[in-house]
Amino acid sequence: MNDTRHRHLKGYNEAVCKLNEGLIRTELPAGVKKPPPVRWRARINEMKRFLEALGNPQKSLFIAAVCGTSGKGSVAVGISSILRSFGLRTGLHVSPYLQSATEKICIDDVLVSGLEFARLVDWVLPVAGPLVNPFTPASIHGMASIAIALEAFRRAGTDVVIFEAGAGARYDLSSVIEPQLVVITGVSRDHVKSLGPSIEDIAFHKSGMIRRGVHTVSINQPHVSEAVSRQTAASGAVPPVFSKPGPDWRTSNRNLATMAAGKILELMGRKPNPDCSDSGEADFRLPGRLEFMPRKKNGPVIIVDGAHNGEKISAVLSVVSRMKKKGRNRLVTGFLSTKKHRSMTHLLSRWADDIITTSVRVYGKQGMDPADLARIFNDASKHAKCIRDPAEAVETALDEASGDDVILVTGSMYLAGDVRSMWYPTEEIVFQQTPWPDIAK
């Protein structure tokens, strides 16, 4: 067992180093001017050539693409769970991952192994490596990650792939995956610098995966339904169907996943009725999404959620605020520097009694200085203290909390993944091939 564990972890760690250190863009050479901004069509064409050089693994797959701002991950997981209950072999791609890159490739509810991930990286590097230079129009790392997932699903012989698209969908690298079905979830103001500024603009991007002949299942949300209807008409796609909204976001996501699974079964000839029966025992769990962490006896409730915009924060608080409790609301939070923090800090300051700000740490992205974030909360008449190390911040909140308190860690997917490792070590996720490893093993 120890030898097997060592080989899996060694293979995984070496593969991640090859991806990150080998495929992240190089700096411009001294004296070379920065190239002009890359047009989206050049990025997409580069991705098409890349997949063609790798044998176009996407062309042998039945793919349902899940696009949107909010609920993409849970809807994708729900669709996969429902389809497995009908005997289909499913591939599930979610993005971003929280702790391990293997989280993005799940086959029949089992993450790809560390050794298989390493083999897939070695498969993609001969094509990806030579493309790395400051002038390549697409992110080689992003291209490789998508190709690795598609090839993993092809090798596994999946019946259907549920593929969570990237932020842009219309001009994102994932737009080349050639889906048979597009699922559109809720849309809100996020990534406004590249997709916004208005909800209408963002909905336009999210509906861009819809192409000629493609079927669409969409949430019935203002602006979203309008954008979807326009896109299907303009592209020659099959007229869309819209799911019934629920009384809350979790019910709406479940309704959408159920209808999408029914449509997939219909398209595959497995079930004639496009409105699948109730999702019943379908598993909608995702790590870092309103996740209750293992609780010590008489200890506080600890919730980890990767909400990173105002709408997602509001959705989380709508659930947390309804919890019966006698104690204090304790917040541990941090943001990426690119996020619009005003709506998030406003909502969180109204909920929290005690606030600790901390760092968001992720390769290649800048976190907001937690001292600056603490000052924003303090200006809103909420006492906040800064503890830069996320684990130390959570430990401090735990030390100060009573059993009647609630501790909420939120503000960033990357913070959620960082903190989550305190309960579920990353090495165990890789080796046991599940986001919820048995830490007693």
Q: pLDDT for 32-52, tens place per residue?
A: 677 676 788 899 999 999 999
Tokens describing residue 76: 């994708």
Annotated domain spans of the chain: 2-267, 291-423
pLDDT in tens, 242-280: 998 888 888 899 999 999 999 999 999 886 444 555 555
39 Cβ partners below 8 Å, 6+ apart? 137
Burial class (CB in 10 A: 0-12, 13-18, 19+), 263: buried
Picking from 105, 114, 146, 106, the residue whose alpha carbon sits closest to that of residue 23 is: 146
Strand (E) or helix (H) holding 224: helix 224-235
Length of the chain: 441
Radius of gyration of the chain (CA): 22
196 Cβ partners below 8 Å, 6+ apart? 189, 202
61-84 per-residue burial string, b: 16 or more CB within 10 A, e: under 16: bbbbbbbbbbbbbbbbbbbbbbbb
pTM over 0.85: yes
255 and 266 in contact (C-beta within 8 Å)? no
Whole-angstrom distance, CA of residue 350 vs CA of residue 69: 24
Strands 384-386 and 291-292: unpaired
Strand (E) or helix (H) holding 12: helix 2-23
Q: Could you check whether 2-267 and 291-423 share the same CATH topology?
A: no
Residue 178, by phi and psi: left (phi above 0), alpha (psi -120 to 50) or beta?
left
Strands 241-243 and 354-357: unpaired
Strand (E) or helix (H) holding 217: strand 215-219
Picking from 174, 225, 175, the residue whose alpha carbon sits closest to that of residue 200 is: 225
Picking from 254, 246, 215, the residue whose alpha carbon sits closest to that of residue 75 is: 254
Picking from 2, 20, 231, 35, the residue whose alpha carbon sits closest to that of residue 144 is: 20
Per-residue confidence (pLDDT) for residue 278, from 0 to 100: 55
CATH architecture assignment, domain 2-267: 3-Layer(aba) Sandwich (3.40)
Give the residues of the chain that fall short of pLDDT 50: 192, 194, 272-274
| Single-letter code of the amino acid located at 247 | P
**What's the half-sphere exposure (Cβ side, CA atoms, 13 Å) at 103?**
21
132 and 30 in contact (C-beta within 8 Å)? no
pLDDT in tens, 194-215: 455 577 888 888 888 999 999 9
| Sole residue written with tokens 């069509």 | 41
Per-residue confidence (pLDDT) for residue 148, from 0 to 100: 98
Helix (H, G, I), strand (E, B) or coil at 393: helix
- What angle (nearest 5°) sits at the alpha carbon of residue 154, between those of residues 52 and 266? 110
CATH fourth-level superfamily of 291-423: Mur ligase, C-terminal domain (3.90.190.20)
Whole-angstrom distance, CA of residue 267 vs CA of residue 242: 17
